[in-house]
Amino acid sequence: MAKIKESSTIQENKQYAIQKCPVSYVMEMIGGYWKPIIIYHLSSGDKRYNELKKAIPAVTEKMLIQHLKQLEADGLVVRESKPVVPPFVTYRLSSAGRGMMPMINAMAEWGLDHMKGKF
């Protein structure tokens, strides 16, 4: 996975933000272009890798798998693979992942309100 140069100011500032600010911490976890969309698709139930791929046609395989790995590493998503050929892999939200649904809904609600010009 992409190497990071942990001596850069960018990294230092990011760490600072993530540690000082729980909101930055959240955004670090769900901040990729495709992550909210992946989470949305998983919120309605487990999906196989290929199902996600078809559900989100614009995403490339590299990005899809990269985001899935990150979500898994952050404990938001659980990956389950059956040792068969062809492979059978399913992804689903962990309890932490499901636990963020109220937050996600709050975000979506504000977003929709703001789009519509409320406030």
Applying CB under 7 A, the residues found at the interface with DNA are 2-6, 8-11, 13, 31-34, 48-50, 59-63, 65-69, 79, 81, 85-89
Residue 40 binds its own copies (CB under 8 A): yes
How far are the Cα atoms of 5, 41, 47, 88 from residue 91, in angstroms, in the given order? 30, 10, 5, 10
Q: Computed from CA positions of residues 113, 55, 99, 19, in that sequence, does the dihedral angle turn out positive or negative? A: negative
Per-residue x/- track, 73-102, its own copies (CB under 8 A): --x------------------xxx--xx-x
Q: Which is nearer to its own copies, 87 or 99 (CB)?
A: 99
Residue 55 binding result from its own copies, DNA, none, given CB thresholds of 5 to 8 Å by partner type: none
21's contact among DNA, its own copies, none, with CB below 5 to 8 A by partner kind, is its own copies
Kindly state the DSSP code that residue 87 receives in the 8-state scheme.
-
Burial tier of 81 (Cβ tally within 10 Å: 0-12, 13-18, 19+): exposed
